[in-house]
């Protein structure tokens, strides 16, 4: 897509992206990291990666074996 665009169009896209980014609200990493740690700790009990998935609801469990005779 970007290969078919002129230099002017590419610069316009870059300018539009920079305008979007400058409007984003910034936060201190010290505050964000604390919030992230708190969120992870509160959600750990519900995390299927940590807790595991029950066999009854696991969509990836093997449905049956294959027998070659």
Quote the tokens at residue 51. Answer: 């807790």
Q: Which range, of 16-20, 25-29, 42-46, 47-51, averages the lowest pLDDT? A: 47-51
The domain spans of the chain are 17-50
Provide the whole-model pTM: 0.46
How far is it between the farthest Cα atoms of the chain?
Answer: 67
Distance CA 16, CA 35 (A): 31
Q: How far are the Cα atoms of 14, 32, 40, 53, 60 from residue 48, in angstroms, in the given order? A: 40, 24, 13, 6, 13
What pLDDT does 57 receive?
A: 85
Average pLDDT over residues 34-41: 95
């Amino acid at each position: 897509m970007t290969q078919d665009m002129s230099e002017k169009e590419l610069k316009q896209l870059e300018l539009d992206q920079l305008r979007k980014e400058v409007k984003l609200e910034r936060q201190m990493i010290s505050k964000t990291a604390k919030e992230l740690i708190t969120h992870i700790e509160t959600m750990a009990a519900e995390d299927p990666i940590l807790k595991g998935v029950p066999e009854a609801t696991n969509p990836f469990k093997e449905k049956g074996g294959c027998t070659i005779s």
